[in-house]
Amino acid sequence: MLRLEHISVAYGKHEALHDVTVDVAPSRTTAILGANGAGKSTLLKTVAGLVRPQPGGKVLFHDRPIEQEAPHRIVAAGIALVPEGRRLFGEMSVIDNLRIGAYPERARAGESERLKRQFTLFPRLAERRQQLAKTMSGGEQQMLAIARALMSEPKILLLDEPSLGLSPRLVSDLFSVLRRLTEGGQSIVLVEQNAYQSLKLADYIYVLENGRIASAGTPAEMRQDKMIQKAYLGL
């Protein structure tokens, strides 16, 4: 459904991704692991159209190349990114943030029931719908960021380190929400540091190291991999 072919990305002199090829299957969860600086976020940004790959690299969505599209076109096509650090519209109310999520033409029909769905998924948001986003706690902000992305009814949801800065309880809440999404058939691409949670959630895993795919496989295979154990599980 989504396929990255030979993607290389460089910022000035620095090559962040080198010849990366990744496959994302429909209604599956694909996790991308790696240390800080391994190129995980760049990968998602490339898909979302925030950075351009070097010539030769392709991003195919339903076999249509989108690597040169502008971000809003990619959202319209059905790929939503929950960016690192959430990037909410802090000066706006929860409800406005969600409404903006439904901005693409495609997403305007049925906006209201999707809004309801978000509120059932994240009850806290329902309570705080009029509150300014920037005044909410970290956990709530992360929920809102995800809900905003879901408002565009994405075919694929990209999550960049959603567990960033959350306490363990919130982290497990978060992952249970993600699990419910996947059970609902939502395809997810997840960039995480939190290896075990990701391993539990994901159907397939890529490990990035210094901008290259170091290894890939099912969670089961990964659990065996000594290098992963050491480098990313910190044990």
Partner 1 sequence: MFEVVLNGLVLGGIYGLIALGLNLQYGIARMLNLSYGEFFTAGAFASYFAITLYHYNPLLGLSVSVPVAFAVNWVIYRFLLLPLIRRAPNRDALDGDVVLCTFGLLFVFQGFEQVYWGGNVRGYYFLSFPVYFFGASLPANRLLAFAAAMALGGVLILVLRKTRFGTALRAIAIDPIAAGLSGINVLDLSASAFALGGAMVAISGSLVSTFIASSASAGIVYTLKALIVIIVGGPGRMAGAIAAGLLLGVAEQVGGYLIDPGLTLAINYAILILVLLIRPTGLFARG
Partner 2 sequence: MADGSKWLAFLAAIIGAGVLAALPLDLSAYGVSTGIVYFANIALATAWALFSGPTRYISLATAAFVGVGMYTVAFAHVSLDLAVCLMLAAIVGFLFALVVGLSTLRLRGVYFVIFTFGLTELMRQLSSWYEINITHKLNRFITISIDSIVIYEMLLVLAVAAVFGSWYVSTTRLGHALRAIGEDETVARHTGINATWVKVLVFAIAASMMSLVGGVYALRYPSIDPTVGFGNAWSFQVLIAALLGGPGRPWGPAIGAVLLVLLSDFLVGAFSRYFTIALGVCFVVIVYFIPGGIAPRIEHLYGVLARARHAARSAPGASAPHEPPTDAAAVDNETEAEMREVVPRRRSALRPLMRRLTRSGPMLRGGTGPPQGAMLSVDGLRKAFGGLIAVRDLSFDIPTGGVTGLIGPNGSGKTTVLNLITGELPPEAGSIILQGDEIIGARSFEICRARIARTFQLVRVLPGMTTRENVMLGRMFGSDPTGPAAALSEADILLDRVGLADRAQLIGSQLTYIDQKRVELARALATRPQLLLLDEWLAGLNPTELKIGIDLIRRIQREGVTVLMVEHVMEAIRALCGHVIVMNAGMKIAEGTAAEVLSDPKVTQVYLGDDNAAA
Kindly list the residues in this chain that would bind partner 1 in the complex (CB under 8 A): 48-50, 70-72, 75-76, 80-81, 83, 87-92, 96, 99-101, 103-104, 107, 134, 148-149, 152
60, 76, 121, 233: residue in contact with partner 2 (rule CB under 8 A): 233
Least gap, CB of 11 to partner 2 (angstroms): 5
DSSP designation for 135: G
Report the interhelical angle of 111-121 vs 168-183 (nearest 10°): 140
Contact between 118 and 153 (Cβ < 8 Å) = no
Q: Residue 38 interacts with partner 2 (CB under 8 A)?
A: yes
Residue number with CB closer to partner 2 (26 or 167): 167
Supply 132's token pair: 């300014």
Q: Please give the residues from 187 up to 226 whose contact with partner 2 meets the rule CB under 8 A.
A: 193-197, 200, 210-211
The gap from C-alpha 188 to its chain's centroid, in whole angstroms, comes to: 7
Strands (E), 29-92: 29-33, 58-61, 64-65, 79-82
Phi then psi for residue 93, to 5 deg, are: -75, 165
Q: Residue 182 interacts with partner 2 (CB under 8 A)?
A: no
The gap from C-alpha 68 to its chain's centroid, in whole angstroms, comes to: 20
Least gap, CB of 118 to partner 1 (angstroms): 14
Interface positions with partner 2 (CB under 8 A): 11-16, 35-42, 45, 50-51, 90, 134-138, 140-141, 161, 163-168, 170-172, 175, 193-197, 200, 210-211, 230, 233-235
